[in-house]
Homo-oligomer: A and B are copies of this chain.
Amino acid sequence: MTRMFKRILIANRGEIAVRVIRACREMGIESVAVFSDADRASLHVREADFAVHVGPAPAAESYLKTERIIDAALRTGAEAIHPGYGFFSENANFARAVKDAGLTFIGPPASAVERMGDKVEARKLMAAAGVPVVPGSPGTLESEEEVRAVANRIGYPIMLKAAAGGGGKGMRLVENDHDLTALVRSVASEAKSSFGDGRFYVEKFVPGPRHIEVQVFADNFGNTVHLFERECSLQRRHQKVIEESPSPFVTAAMRQAMGEVAVKAARAVDYVGAGTVEFLADENRNFYFLEMNTRIQVEHPVTELVTGIDLVKLQIAVAAGQPLPFTQAELQQRGWALECRVYAEDPTAGFSPAPGKIQTMRLPDGPGIRIDAGVYEGAEVPIFYDPMICKLIAWGRDRDEAIARMRRALDEFSISGDLVTNLDFHRWVMRQPLFLKGEFDTGFIGQHYSGADGRVEQDPARLAAILAAAFLVSRDGTQARPPVASSAPTTQTSAWKTLGRIDSLRR
């Protein structure tokens, strides 16, 4: 039996920091939180056994200060650092600095992070390892002519992608030769200005693609397994917002093929720990390597619910030198799980962030419902970071039951205060016939969501609503509040947002 860590520092914040703290507590390991000025009262600080201040609110001056994070670990006697997702999670330099300080980085080796971090190199490497990649340029391109040559070979439409891009940035769709000149110039300049790396490459455009990923796990003894797929096609602003496992699109044969390919991809970079191999799938169920995320994903709970494996505890165990406690054959999917990411954002205003203070919050619970939250009632969703409130996860014996439970849980979920949430958006998705049939691709939200609620009230509800309003008026007096002008809206705010904000002002 290997020695387990006594204390772990979590170089992150929000729900993932709380998630890792919980894993530590269940393993009898003490947790060290770090926090910026904006996070003194945050849930991860409250829940951790230790907490160290690491700087001002902007992440670049606190959560992304390598030396401060490592100093905090050394000072509190932490033996290992868990990076969560985002921040330092895919930063090879940080992983090396942690190792150089005599600590354990809970993640893959720096070399694997690095090799998967460069998208063009990763493409080459995967193609060489026999992993299917989207047809395109073998490496980066420099000139319009090179691009045109590739385009003529693979055919339009094509995608121009910045080598250092990601999250939907640094990408251009080129429909035909006519647009090529302008778009090459545009992507090259954006790549340079946004990422400081002007390189780009070309891939054939896959129409109506599904985004499907495979969870992999490897230990230090050469065991590499996959924990099946996650369906992540529901995206807004090129960011995932609802995930599920299994995918309603994946057949048993496709599942096995994707799993084998994902394991191959991980082995090709001598991977250790939790990782995710992302694929694009076309309508014919061809799938192509997109990228590998060398960290725990936001959407890991859906895999946990269908496999029964606690991925975060397993990350810690593997980092401490333990072998995987199961073989591929012992893993199985049971039932169906869905995750809704609940954000402080305004779906009726292009999903723009709308953080603020949570005045009241009633979380759902009961059968099949899990919540991974990073906030509490009375907490502030800070404006400086990703405005996630919590992840709402539902499990069912089959997809229909999982959706029914999610719908039920969303209806129970109430939150109010100086912020807007995307709960109504999730309620809308859970009632869409195409979603219920499992027929959607990455363009679904853009094509079908208009921001309108669409639900109609029954008559007694209207009466009751008037009464609730009248009760409030008669209890609190009929004084009119100050007009709205003093906080003139700067974007097209929803009524929710405006009212929420103003409501909070008078408390």
Identify the A interface with B (CB < 8 A). Answer: 18-19, 22-23, 25-28, 47, 301, 304, 308-310, 312, 334-335, 362-363, 365-373, 376-377, 397, 401, 404-405, 407-408, 411-412
Interface residue from B301, B335, B365, B376 paired with A373 (Cβ < 8 Å): B365
- 5 further interface pairs, Cβ-Cβ under 8 Å (given A22-B366, A26-B405, A310-B367): A22-B367, A25-B408, A27-B404, A308-B397, A366-B371
Specify the chain B residue showing the minimal Cβ separation from A404.
B26
Contact A334 B308 (CB under 8 A): yes
Q: How far is the CB of A227 from chain B (nearest CB, A)?
A: 13
Contact A370 B363 (CB under 8 A): no
Given contacts A308-B335, A334-B334, A397-B309, contact A408 B367 (CB under 8 A): no
Q: How far is the CB of A16 from chain B (nearest CB, A)?
A: 12
For A301, A365, A368, A397, the residue with the greatest tally of chain B CB atoms inside 10 Å of its CB is A365
Contact A370 B366 (CB under 8 A): yes
Q: Chain B residues near A373 (CB, 8 Å)?
A: 365
Q: How far is the CB of A309 from chain B (nearest CB, A)?
A: 7
Distance, CA A335 to CA B377, complexed state (A): 33
Distance, CA A309 to CA B395, complexed state (A): 11
- The quantity of this chain's copies bound in the complex is 2
Contact B22 A408 (CB under 8 A): yes
Q: How far is the CB of A273 from chain B (nearest CB, A)?
A: 18
Contact A372 B366 (CB under 8 A): yes
Contact B301 A367 (CB under 8 A): yes
Q: Chain B residues near A308 (CB, 8 Å)?
A: 334-335, 397
- Considering the complex of A and B, which 7 residue pairs feature the smallest CB-CB distances, nearest first? A26-B404, A365-B371, A25-B408, A22-B366, A26-B408, A308-B397, A26-B405
Q: List 19 A-B contacts (CB under 8 A).
A: A22-B367, A25-B408, A25-B411, A26-B404, A26-B405, A26-B407, A27-B404, A28-B404, A310-B367, A310-B397, A310-B401, A362-B376, A365-B365, A365-B370, A365-B373, A366-B371, A366-B372, A367-B372, A377-B377
Q: Chain B residues near A372 (CB, 8 Å)?
A: 365-367
Contact B371 A370 (CB under 8 A): no
Distance, CA A86 to CA B334, complexed state (A): 33
Q: Chain B residues near A371 (CB, 8 Å)?
A: 365-366
Interface residue from B19, B27, B47, B367 paired with A412 (Cβ < 8 Å): B47
Interface residue from B27, B362, B367, B397 paired with A370 (Cβ < 8 Å): B367
Distance, CA A27 to CA B403, complexed state (A): 11
Q: How far is the CB of A335 from chain B (nearest CB, A)?
A: 6
Q: Chain B residues near A334 (CB, 8 Å)?
A: 308, 334
Q: Chain B residues near A23 (CB, 8 Å)?
A: 367
Interface residue from B310, B366, B368, B369 paired with A18 (Cβ < 8 Å): B366
Specify the chain B residue showing the minimal Cβ separation from A27.
B404
Distance, CA A397 to CA B312, complexed state (A): 14
Distance, CA A250 to CA B78, complexed state (A): 41
Distance, CA A367 to CA B308, complexed state (A): 10
Q: How far is the CB of A32 from chain B (nearest CB, A)?
A: 14
Q: How far is the CB of A468 from chain B (nearest CB, A)?
A: 13
Specify the chain B residue showing the minimal Cβ separation from A371.
B365
Contact A363 B365 (CB under 8 A): yes
For A18, A25, A26, A412, the residue with the greatest tally of chain B CB atoms inside 10 Å of its CB is A26
For A363, A370, A376, the residue with the greatest tally of chain B CB atoms inside 10 Å of its CB is A370
Contact B366 A369 (CB under 8 A): no
Distance, CA A371 to CA B362, complexed state (A): 13
Specify the chain B residue showing the minimal Cβ separation from A366.
B22
Q: How far is the CB of A400 from chain B (nearest CB, A)?
A: 10
Q: Chain B residues near A405 (CB, 8 Å)?
A: 26
Q: Chain B residues near A28 (CB, 8 Å)?
A: 404
Distance, CA A369 to CA B301, complexed state (A): 13
Q: Chain B residues near A397 (CB, 8 Å)?
A: 308-310
Given contacts A22-B408, A412-B47, contact A369 B370 (CB under 8 A): yes
